[in-house]
A = this chain, B = another copy of it.
């Protein structure tokens, strides 16, 4: 993430990944304040064995796109809600990438879904993880059914 003020947005990603037994490394790296460290992190990510990178940022929000430009690993971008423009600026800066360098963008404030998307990508190589994701979905499903039944009764 680009700043520790993004932590509340990204914490659900960490939490859901840990719940799904996926190893996570959490870093504070700023595209604008530590650009060289960001460049090094992104360039070495593949060799260090990372597989998917989740990057959250707000406002001009260059972190996800810059990381994506420096690696061919999948990069998931989380637009952090900005004080002034509700995150529309963050969303535009992250999703409107030029042809050639994709960022997999989730909803404004969508840390949870960033974690789940990372897990879904990793699960292509990990049958047990795919099953844990199936179980997670069933929980979501059952919670809705339970609410529906309480209402019907």
Contact = CB atoms under 8 A, between A and B. Distances in A.
Q: Please tell me how many copies of the chain the complex holds.
A: 8
Contact of A86 (B73, B85, B120, B140): B85
Nearest to A120: B74
A74 B144 contact: no
A22 interface: no
Contacts of A112: 99-100
A59 to B, nearest CB: 4
Interface in A95-145: 95-110, 112-114, 116-117, 120-125, 130, 133-134, 136-137, 140-141, 143-145
Given A133-B72, A144-B29, A144-B30, A35 B96 contact: no
B76 A33 contact: no
B60 A97 contact: yes
A140 B102 CA distance: 13
A99 to B, nearest CB: 5
Contacts of A3: 98, 144, 147
A96 B100 contact: no
